[in-house]
Amino acid sequence: MTDNNRRVALGAMIAAGMAGVAGTASAKAQKSGQARDIDRLLSHWAVQEVLIGYARANDLQDEAMLRDCFWPESTHKHGRFEGKSQDFVGFAMKILTTLHYCAHHISNISIQIEGDRAFSECYYFAHHRRDAKTGGEEDAFMEGRYLDILERRDGVWKIIRRHGISDYSSPAMPAATPYADWPAGHTVRSKDDAYYMMLKAFREG
Helices (H), 61-72: 63-67
In-domain check, residue 10: no
Which DSSP helix (H) or strand (E) runs through 61? none
In-domain check, residue 3: no
Q: Are strands 156-169 and 173-174 parallel, antiparallel or unpaired?
A: unpaired
- Average pLDDT score, the chain: 88
Q: How confident is the model at residue 194 (pLDDT cuts 50, 70, 90)?
A: confident
> Residue 96 belongs to a domain with what CATH number?
3.10.450.50
Q: What is the pLDDT of residue 186?
A: 80
In-domain check, residue 134: yes
**Range name among 8-17, 111-120, 150-159 with the lowest pLDDT average:** 8-17
Instruction: List the beta bridge partners of residue 119.
Output: 112, 149
Q: How confident is the model at residue 35 (pLDDT cuts 50, 70, 90)?
A: confident
Per DSSP, 10 falls in state H
List, for residues 36-92, the tens digit of each pLDDT value: 889 999 999 999 999 999 999 999 999 999 999 999 999 999 989 999 999 999 999
Domains held by the chain: number: 1
Prediction pTM value: 0.81
Give the number of other Cβ atoms within 10 Å of residue 201's Cβ: 9
Percent of the chain with pLDDT over 70: 86
Give the number of other Cβ atoms within 10 Å of residue 85's Cβ: 25
Q: What is the pLDDT of residue 32?
A: 75
Instruction: List the beta bridge partners of residue 168.
Output: 143
Which DSSP helix (H) or strand (E) runs through 14? helix 3-60
In-domain check, residue 77: yes
Phi and psi angles of residue 79, each rounded to the nearest 5 degrees, phi first: 60, -130
CA–CA distance, 108 with 123 (Å, rounded to integer): 6
Phi and psi angles of residue 102, each rounded to the nearest 5 degrees, phi first: -155, 155
In-domain check, residue 40: yes
Q: Are strands 156-169 and 117-131 parallel, antiparallel or unpaired?
A: unpaired
Task: Tell me what the mean pLDDT of segment 114-123 comes to.
Answer: 97
In-domain check, residue 22: no
Task: Tell me what the mean pLDDT of segment 179-187 comes to.
Answer: 83
In-domain check, residue 25: no
Nearest CA to 136 out of 103, 183, 177 is that of 177
**113-148 b/e (C-beta count within 10 Å ≥ 16 → b):** beeeebebbbbbebbbbbeeeeeebbbbebbbebeb
Task: Tell me what the mean pLDDT of segment 174-193 comes to.
Answer: 86
Is the pLDDT confidence value at 98 over 50?
A: yes
Which of the listed ranges 19-28, 166-175, 176-185 does the model predict with the highest average pLDDT? 166-175
In-domain check, residue 103: yes
Provide the residue count of the chain.
Answer: 205
Q: What is the pLDDT of residue 10?
A: 44
**Range name among 75-84, 88-97, 164-173, 193-202 with the lowest pLDDT average:** 193-202
Residue range(s) defining the domain that contains residue 49: 33-204
